[in-house]
Amino acid sequence: MKKLGLVGLVGLFLSCGQTAHETKVEEAPEESRFVKEVFATNLYEPTEIVVLPKDRILFTQRRGAIKQYDLRTNELSDYDSIPVYHEKEDGLMGIALDPEFEQNDWVYVYYSPVGDEPVQHLSRFSYTAKGLINEVVMLKVPVQREECCHTGGSIQFGSDGLLYLSTGDNTNPFASKGFSPSDERPGRSAWDAQKSSANTNDLRGKILRIKPEPDGTYSIPEGNLFVDEDPLTKPEIYVMGCRNPYRISVDPKRGWLFWGDVGPDAGEDAEGRGPRGHDEFNVARAPGFFGWPLFVGNNYAYNEYDFETGISRDMYDPASPVNNSPNNTGLQNLPPAQPAKIYYPYARTDIFPQLKNGGRNAMAGPVYYSEMYEGRSKFPAYLDGRVIYYDWMRGFIYFLELDEKGNPTDWYPFMPNTEFNNAMDMEFGPDGNLYMIEYGTGWFTRNENAKLSRIRYIEGNRPPVLNASASRYSGSAPLKVIFDASESKDYDGDKLKYQWEIENETFNDSSFTYVFEKEGVYYPKLTLSDGKGDYRTQQFTIEVGNEPPVVDIVIAGNNTFFWEGRNIAYEVQISDLEDEKGVGIASDQIRFDINHYQSTDMAEALGHQVPVSNGLTLIEALDCKGCHKVNEKSIGPSYTAVADRYKTDRNAVNYLSRKIISGGGGVWGEQAMSAHPDLTTEDAASIVEYILSLANQASYPLAGTFTTTEPEGRYLFTAAYKDRGKAPLRPIESTRNIWLRPSRMAADLFDDSKDIQARGGDIRSIYHGSWVSFKNIDLTGIASVSFLVANREKGGHVSIRTGAPDGEEIGSREIYPDPAAGPATSFQIEINDVKGFQNVYFVFTNEGEENKLLYIRNIEFNPKP
């Protein structure tokens, strides 16, 4: 069993000197009284967490691993793994403990089994010290695997012992331009969510509610959405009309069901299609239909749309919705649609201004009641009855107070100054502490900032807040590093003591400079104490002797925008101090690619970070290089040959992973492959995925011209180079990403503003003295800026400035709309010849005018001819 000691984690925080939870707190607690302790990092797509009795934690990872953390020994172990199909978004999605777990040891898991049958399993297992045993498949959810997306997969129990399971709509959204995916053409059911979410006879796009029975079967409780035995309905359905209810919770007292629903992508409303995309936070006090794919948000209705002819019909009626899709196998007349309690688009919204703007991934967390816990550091009574609502992308967490109808009446921002790297799931443990897993910033990969942590509430003396950094973590010798903990603080005003340990030396300053003269790996450690028994420690890893490579992509002309038909001259430039002194740059370690992301949320969700292959790192650390090469046959086949053979095999990852672990031969000749029994299944899968990726690599030269063909979405130029390393120093990979976005954008995609109101892609309310700004815009080669203005307001003066609202003016114009000219007019403002990245401000004035000045639909940066 592979274990990871707590002390060995880089950047791990520890504390001691616990203080008992003595009194109820009836005022809003200070953020400083919540302390986040990180137990583990570098997780691999964690999905759902449960806290066991006796100080143990289990959490699942999408590719099949189940991890266990022991709070007594501070060890993270590979508890078990389940073979899963994990293409697209499928895999091991959810886990829950039976309400009588202490008596029966039952654990419930929702996952995608390997094999040719496209299905999801809800299974019950028995928990043992050595792993899960005695699987009983309780429920099967048929799905389609050929076209993504949306799995749901969260499992929760109510206090009445009923099991709730969320399922996604299992529908490809990428051919619907961000609107309702309701493609009724023959052979297009994978693009029609009416076949799932709005289908009363299908288990997808739902939240199911069942009563598990002791023999591994289940019964249907009273109060589900469909109570009769109509063959056109599924009695397991409690809630229908969901898109991707990824994480759910159940109020242990009120019995209410909560979920976040990840919404579609359209950035603007469109006549004939329907509303822009919204994420939702939903509350079900009773069973019902919650709209998708006919409605979104506050019952905003889509048009019925013919994908064959492009003709739009009437909008759906939320009071009497009808599903007449040929892919529907259930009732045509659906229950009335229920609106979401919280709903928000990519842009800012006046309805919920606290949500700001950006990418969206709504989630629901648990409801807290202090009387249910006895821990010394349990959360305060102020949070009683509040449900956790959080957003995976935007990083906020709120404890919501709700009225008797489930509407939010108070939003308590939870640790708003603490960074959460895509919080995936959270659960209160028996001690009243909040346990959390964070997915990390890169999609479909292992992330260093993917974490397992615990958040405690400290009512008495608070431990110091450690904020320490190193200016360099790697480089050639001699390496000068500035260690700085001067931003550390103590909320109780205690005098802080610093103790840095580097090799055999000790330093007591808050910051200092140290020069590492010799090559090697060093582990500097800081202990920060407050003199009252509380302390924090942080350990760094400094590798001396290998300078990180420098990777750049030089793009001629503008580095912010693209337009259809733009010819982009580019060159990838790589330099590495050690490699250039030795045998030269390793050309097979250069990765370069150009990708287009049509979907807005796909580009947002990547978080401007390109996944780096962990499989290649593992290969280089093993004995693989002795038998295999990338493009040439050695004792064993080349990696590209393996990729070509298995690239269409849906079970290739599982089959080849087992082969790597167990060894064997006979497929490629007489030479047998060595076994690697110490590899985990997830690490073996990483190796296989890297090899299989070699079959799909686009071949772009490192210098050339690329022509854009799309008017929308985003283009990503990415280059990476991994140097050769130098034992015991690891190879270092550096990456350079350049995102290009359309030169025409919705007006409300600004970064900052004053005295404006924006909605639906538009800036709808602009007054004298209002401004909007866009950060880091490359104005190289930009000749003018155009505004599409609705002909309905007074008009005024527009000044384009750089740096600040009163910065250098680079262009201006009077803009006065003419209602007689039609619904909208485009106005163009020529700008000075400005090069490089600027913060661009649009300042609007009309002295003496108190009414609205302008209504802007979009803004376009026009290139020079």
pLDDT at res. 49? 98
Indicate if the pLDDT at residue 3 is higher than 80. Answer: no
With contact defined as beta carbons under 8 Å apart, do 289 and 241 qualify? Answer: yes
Please state, for a pLDDT cut of 70, what percent of the chain lies above it: 90
Low-confidence winner among 65-74, 234-243, 549-558, 748-757 (lowest mean pLDDT): 748-757
CA distance 469 to 502: 14
Query: Which stretch of 17-21, 314-318, 752-756 has the lowest confidence by average pLDDT?
Result: 17-21
Whether 436 and 392 have beta carbons less than 8 Å apart is answered as no
User: 106 or 671: whose pLDDT is higher?
Assistant: 106
pLDDT at 610: 39
Which of 633, 609, 630 minimizes the C-alpha distance to 619?
630
Take residue 496 and report the two structure tokens written for it: 């802080």
Cα distance between residue 240 and residue 446, in whole Å? 33
Q: Is 80 exceeded by the pLDDT of residue 11?
A: no
**How many residues in total does the chain contain?**
865
Judged against a pLDDT cut of 80, whether residue 796 lies above it is answered with yes
pLDDT of residue 682 exceeding 90: no
pLDDT at 700: 87
The pLDDT score that the predictor gives to residue 7 is 27
| Helix intervals (H) in 73-175 | 101-104
Question: Is 229 exposed, middle or buried (CB count within 10 Å of its CB: 0-12, 13-18, 19+)?
Answer: exposed
Q: What pLDDT is recorded for position 45?
A: 94
Write out pLDDT tens, residues 697-733. Answer: 556 899 999 999 988 888 989 999 989 888 889 899 8
What pLDDT does residue 486 have? Answer: 97
**In this predicted model, what pLDDT tens digit does every residue of 416-433 receive, in sequence order?**
999 999 999 999 999 999
Q: According to the model, what pLDDT value does residue 100 have?
A: 97
Residue 196 has pLDDT above 90, yes or no: yes
Least reliable range by pLDDT among 2-6, 621-625, 828-832? 2-6
pLDDT of residue 65: 96
Evaluate if residue 13 carries a pLDDT over 50.
no
Q: What is the pLDDT of residue 358?
A: 77
| pLDDT of 576 over the 90 cut | yes
**Average pLDDT along the chain:** 89
Q: What is the pLDDT of residues 763-786, one digit of tens each?
A: 988 999 999 999 999 999 999 999
Share of the chain above pLDDT 90, in %: 70
* Max Cα distance, the chain (Å): 89
Query: What pLDDT, on a 0 to 100 scale, did the predictor assign at position 75?
Result: 92
Residue 20 has pLDDT above 60, yes or no: no
DSSP bridge pairs for 132? 127
- Tell me the pLDDT band of 586, cut-offs 50, 70 and 90: confident
For residues 50 and 428, the answer to whether their CB atoms sit within 8 Å is no
Give 429's DSSP letter: -
- Geometric angle at alpha carbon 676, from 675 and 681, rounded to 5°: 120
* Tally of helices (H runs) and strands (E runs) in the chain: 7, 59
For residue 4, the model assigns a pLDDT of 30
Lowest mean pLDDT among 7-11, 458-462, 732-736: 7-11
3-class secondary structure, 392: coil
Q: Per residue in 233-284, pLDDT tens?
A: 999 999 999 999 999 999 999 999 999 999 998 888 999 999 999 999 999 9
Lowest mean pLDDT among 210-224, 414-428, 607-621: 607-621
The alpha-carbon radius of gyration of the chain (Å, integer) is 28
Token pair for 106 = 């039952």
Per-residue tokens: 853: 């000045």
Is the distance from CB of 83 to CB of 114 less than 8 angstroms? yes
CB-based contacts of 187: which residues, under 8 Å, 6+ apart? none
